[in-house]
Structure 1
Amino acid sequence: MTLLSSEKSAGQKPGDAASSPADNVVYGYQKPRLLTVPPTALSSAGQEAVDLAARAGLTLDPWQQFVLDQGMGERADGNWAAFEVAVNVPRQNGKGGIIEARELWGLFIGGEKLILHSAHEFKTAKAAFKRIQALIRRTPDLHKRVKQYRQTVGEEGIVLHSGQELRFIARSKGSGRGFTGDCNVMDEDMILGDAEMDALMPTMAAIANPQIWYLGSAGIGAPSVQLGRLRRRALAALGDGTPDPSLAYFEWSINAHSDECRPDCTEHDNVDAPESVLKANPAVGYRLTLEKTLNERLSMGAAGFARERLGVGTYPSDAADSWQVIGEDAWRALGDGTSKPGDPVAFAVDTTPERSHSAICVAGPSGDATHVEVVDHRPGTGWVVERMVELQEKWGPRAIVVDPGGPAGSLIPDLERAGLQIAQPKTREVAQACGQFYDAVSDQSLVHLDQAPLATALAGADKRPLGDAWAWARRGVSTDISPLVAVTLARWGLGVEVEEQGAPNLW
């Protein structure tokens, strides 16, 4: 996870120490102001995408290559390090080139069975179809692999002889239902809300190695629900130094002055400064010029220029970030960066309904309080059993808790075959666990490490009725509350009656 300003200043070419005396071209910053990527990538398929695009006649700028390299990072098991990739860059910089390179790779190298490309407006989706169709048609070795270019209005797409398909749709709350996409490309993501995400996110559930790409420009207020959510996750990761395990986020923008800034403020950027244009527009020197972008300022208001050219967006507040059940101040007040659980400890496992992420958490006594902690939080479920066996052997917990009625319930047979004894709470006990956790926060008998995955889960959590009580629920389809569910169950596991499993090793 990295936070970078550009490594290049005005007048420098990306990759060079400085421009040659004869080179008067000014280049934009090739690294984004806001950047966070999962730390688990050991390799990348990005260069394959860059090389394939070049074969098709699409030459990518250094910044576009950088996004593909980082966004297509792969873990040791070959799966994507980033489940979600977001590119927030001002208009006309060339985000379409990134989309085309990623889609070409998915069709002709990656073996993705279905790629869904959606845009807010039908005309945008159709234009994207025409651009990639042209790239393929002029590349004989790619064109010969195409069985059909579907031209029917509303059903545009490209089908290969292998059966793979790239399909273009205009977004709606119903579009995408029934499709199972290996890769979803969400163009114009500054106009993307919960209804569209509710329709499209579940299409990833049955895919072993899915990925979503969001591409657009700065937020425009109320319509930018999902972009705002992604941006807040990135800022949270950058703020506390805890990488988001599934998000790669790239934002070219300036940190503009506010009304409270003093006249001599040097920490923020001036909207009228040429350097600000370079920071926010990596395509300057390639398809944009500094002169033309500065001339736009003459015909645009300050706010419009800041949004459209400098990436200064307006992002809506989100119910998923409003701490509906437990207040943020109350939770943060219990944060302790040094506490550790004592003997005995209990572990719990939970996963998201889409099986996109899983969490293993621990609880144990810490003085007069109970310590809760996220031990592991990663994409998918395939790693859970092996990791839980390691933790069992190392700590000898008094209980390992999995809700048999929750998404992680399907892991119980594999955990038991691995020799683990699983405590399985009944429905009323799940409700009791949630109530006990809530009470522990209220009476300040709980401590934690203020970890980002747990704070994000609490921020996006809500209640769902469970008999006369309640259990945890998520407010949006993209909210991952598995860390919260797991710490709640782990705390409950400290008091559940189980057979003795041996004393834990030294912490």
Structure 2
Amino acid sequence: MSLQHSAGRRSAPGDLKGKETPRLFTKPLRKLTPKTSLGFDVIRFASVILGLELFPWQKWLLIHALELNKDGTYRFRKLCILVGRQNGKTTLLTVLCLYWLYVDSGAFPEHVKPRDFLILGTAQDLDTAQEAWDRTNAYCDPDPENEAGIPTLQSKTLKPVLGNGKTSIRLKSGAKYRVKAANRKGGRGKSAARVLMDELREQQNFDAWSSVTKTMNAIFNSQLWGISNAGDAKSVVLRHLRDIALESVNEWDKYVETGIQSVEEYANKNDLTLGLFEWSAPDGCKKDDPEAIAQANPSLGYTIEWETILSDLKTDPEFVFRTEVLCQWVTAAVFTYIDPLAWASQCDLESEIAPNSPVVIGVDTSADRSMTYVSVAGFREDGNRHVETVAQRAGMMWAPEAIKKIADKAGTTDVAVQAKGTPAIEFIEPLEKLGLNVIQVGGSELGSSAGQFKDHVEAGTVFHRSQPVLDMAISGGVTKTLGNMQVWDRIGSLVDVASVISANYALYGLDVHKEPATVSAYVAMGEEDNPDWW
């Protein structure tokens, strides 16, 4: 049974083929051979058992991703793999799952018995997660009518379980491959030896990631594959994982590739269990550059036709083409309300509210009520403003009491919140009952507060400490027209902007209702004990 072929394909200019080697990748610790990588065995399994010849890039990835430690365990615990759409990742995952089930599940019986070996496949929805499962099941379903199956595998397999959230392939040895939607509850349950997170770019919060990754902690030699094309401003999990892995790649190049440290010296001081393998076009390339296209599409000239690329190039909006085909990050398809570069220029890691400054608290909640953010604003010693998010948690019930505690520690009673049209209006009454002075931001103030926040950023009169929760909101936050005003758009923004709205309202309350305190020129820095009150 063959899942891919290359016959009859028209080639790219000059018979250009997709690149076998990714543009960005984590370097191996040693020369990769059949003794130091299980990838060679997987490739042989695909050829001999499945009758499938993998593409060069798929072979390369298996060899590098399945690098072994000296004790035979996997070097990588988590893998972040990025590649352009429709390049054959489902085929790759199918081969990998079959190998894990029928070969690898019995590799360390003294640590993990086959009956305890579980592969968990997840994605943002069950249909996506089930694509690789369906392909895998086609090879091994013991149903006599399954003519496409492999007898060697079928003879070792029980009838699959279908539906009711328990869809799974079951081996007679007890090993299983189960699929679930990636959500807060989807990954909870039995410990998983292997995890596949498909379309990782669609994970817009860490609920599913936290749930799924914790299933691996109690299993010996566990491994997670997160695979996707490039993300956008909402892809917080993929961005976080990629940023950490890319920093490690750069550190390796800085110290090991230059000879400053040996591999052994570097390995003794750094975590080497996260791998990055990214087939993507280089930053700043022209979107029609054939070499850039080939770098992001390793199956070009095999299953992907050059004419298909040209059609997409002609019909796709540029941000779509760069994300889907060139595997490049496009953080916004629209202009953000506040320039992220201007915001970044106002970062001051030492910025803080002066001890004798008035403080105003701001609070806002996501449009879907999923997260609530609490921020503060105050004056610095130099008279400029400082904003900071000091609390964030899921839901809303926790916020009033938490805000009261923050207010008491800050020596303030002022809390700014939107007056209408947002879930946060539900805070007004309980905050007032707690004795706090609620500054209700409504009507024309919605536009003027947003405008003044932008003015402060552009004028360089507000500072922050570069918190990811605020930086991300700025990077994808847009406004909408309300009358003749621009107001924050919670629904239309590429990210959750409730965090920056809470900071915005805190700053607005400070500007409208407070005056900067007079700072004595004779107060020496560090004279007073003023630890962070949040």
TM-score (norm 1): 0.54
Match of 1:127 in 2: 131
Distance in 2, matches of 1:216 and 1:283, equals: 15
1:249 to 2:242 alignment: no
Give CA-to-partner distance per residue, 1:176-198, whole Å, 9 cap, x none: 21120001111111112310012
Match of 2:24 in 1: 34
Secondary structure (helix, strand or coil) at the match of 1:118 reads strand
Secondary structure (helix, strand or coil) at the match of 1:57 reads coil
Match of 2:289 in 1: 273
Secondary structure (helix, strand or coil) at the match of 1:283 reads coil
Secondary structure (helix, strand or coil) at the match of 1:74 reads coil
Match of 1:166 in 2: 177
Distance in 2, matches of 1:46 and 1:185, equals: 17
Of the three residues 19, 43, 52, the one matched with 1:50 is 43
**CA 1:328–1:109 in 2, change beyond 3 Å: closer, same or farther?**
farther
Secondary structure (helix, strand or coil) at the match of 2:60 reads helix
Identity of aligned residues (%): 29
**Which of the two has higher C-alpha Rg?**
2
Distance in 2, matches of 1:173 and 1:295, equals: 39
Q: Retained in 2: the 8 A contact 1:38–1:81?
A: no
Secondary structure (helix, strand or coil) at the match of 1:150 reads coil
Q: Retained in 2: the 8 A contact 1:119–1:171?
A: yes
Match of 1:191 in 2: 202
Secondary structure (helix, strand or coil) at the match of 1:125 reads helix
In the TM superposition, 1:24-423 aligns within 5 A as 25-37=15-27, 39=29, 43-54=36-47, 55-111=49-105, 113-137=117-141, 138-192=149-203, 193-222=205-234, 224-241=235-252, 244-257=271-284, 269-314=285-330
Give CA-to-partner distance per residue, 1:91-128, whole Å, 9 cap, x none: 10011122112111110110161110111111112222
Match of 2:441 in 1: none
Match of 1:359 in 2: none
Q: Retained in 2: the 8 A contact 1:91–1:309?
A: yes
Distance in 1, matches of 2:140 and 2:241, equals: 32
Alpha-carbon distance, 1:329 to partner? 6.5
Give CA-to-partner distance per residue, 1:426-480, whole Å, 9 cap, x none: xxxxxxxxxxxxxxxxxxxxxxxxxxxxxxxxx99xxxxxxxxxxxxxxxxxxxx
**CA 1:294–1:106 in 2, change beyond 3 Å: closer, same or farther?**
same
Alpha-carbon distance, 1:301 to partner? 1.2
Secondary structure (helix, strand or coil) at the match of 1:147 reads coil
- Structure 2 residues not aligned, in runs of 5+: 1-5, 7-12, 106-113, 142-148, 256-269, 333-346, 351-466, 469-534
Alpha-carbon distance, 1:230 to partner? 1.7
Letter of the structure 2 residue corresponding to residue 250 of structure 1: F
Alpha-carbon distance, 1:36 to partner? 0.9
Secondary structure (helix, strand or coil) at the match of 1:51 reads helix
Distance in 2, matches of 1:43 and 1:293, equals: 37
Give CA-to-partner distance per residue, 1:390-410, whole Å, 9 cap, x none: xxxxxxxxxxxxxxxxxxxxx
Q: Retained in 2: the 8 A contact 1:116–1:184?
A: yes
Distance in 2, matches of 1:59 and 1:155, equals: 32
Distance in 2, matches of 1:153 and 1:310, equals: 38
Secondary structure (helix, strand or coil) at the match of 2:158 reads strand
Q: Retained in 2: the 8 A contact 1:83–1:246?
A: yes
**CA 1:153–1:131 in 2, change beyond 3 Å: closer, same or farther?**
farther
Distance in 1, matches of 2:230 and 2:323, equals: 6
The count of residues paired between Structure 1 and Structure 2 equals 291
Letter of the structure 2 residue corresponding to residue 238 of structure 1: V
**CA 1:152–1:32 in 2, change beyond 3 Å: closer, same or farther?**
same
Alpha-carbon distance, 1:49 to partner? 1.4
**CA 1:328–1:166 in 2, change beyond 3 Å: closer, same or farther?**
farther
- Structure 1 residues not aligned, in runs of 5+: 1-12, 14-22, 258-268, 317-326, 331-458, 461-507
Match of 1:434 in 2: none
Alpha-carbon distance, 1:59 to partner? 2.5
Alpha-carbon distance, 1:246 to partner? 0.8
Letter of the structure 1 residue corresponding to residue 37 of structure 2: S
Alpha-carbon distance, 1:38 to partner? 5.3
Letter of the structure 2 residue corresponding to residue 94 of structure 1: G
Q: Retained in 1: the 8 A contact 2:280–2:328?
A: yes
Match of 1:368 in 2: none
Q: Retained in 1: the 8 A contact 2:27–2:249?
A: no
Letter of the structure 2 residue corresponding to residue 255 of structure 1: P
Distance in 2, matches of 1:292 and 1:29, equals: 17
Distance in 1, matches of 2:86 and 2:216, equals: 30
Alpha-carbon distance, 1:39 to partner? 2.2
Distance in 2, matches of 1:166 and 1:328, equals: 49
Give CA-to-partner distance per residue, 1:336-395, whole Å, 9 cap, x none: xxxxxxxxxxxxxxxxxxxxxxxxxxxxxxxxxxxxxxxxxxxxxxxxxxxxxxxxxxxx
**CA 1:144–1:81 in 2, change beyond 3 Å: closer, same or farther?**
same
Q: Retained in 2: the 8 A contact 1:129–1:168?
A: yes
Alpha-carbon distance, 1:315 to partner? 5.9
Letter of the structure 1 residue corresponding to residue 296 of structure 2: A
Distance in 2, matches of 1:121 and 1:58, equals: 28
**CA 1:198–1:219 in 2, change beyond 3 Å: closer, same or farther?**
same
Letter of the structure 2 residue corresponding to residue 49 of structure 1: V
Secondary structure (helix, strand or coil) at the match of 1:27 reads coil
Give CA-to-partner distance per residue, 1:240-264, whole Å, 9 cap, x none: 326751111111111232xxxxxxx
Letter of the structure 2 residue corresponding to residue 286 of structure 1: Y
Letter of the structure 2 residue corresponding to residue 63 of structure 1: W
Secondary structure (helix, strand or coil) at the match of 2:200 reads coil
Letter of the structure 2 residue corresponding to residue 300 of structure 1: D
Give CA-to-partner distance per residue, 1:183-218, whole Å, 9 cap, x none: 111111111231001211211121111111001111
**CA 1:141–1:24 in 2, change beyond 3 Å: closer, same or farther?**
farther
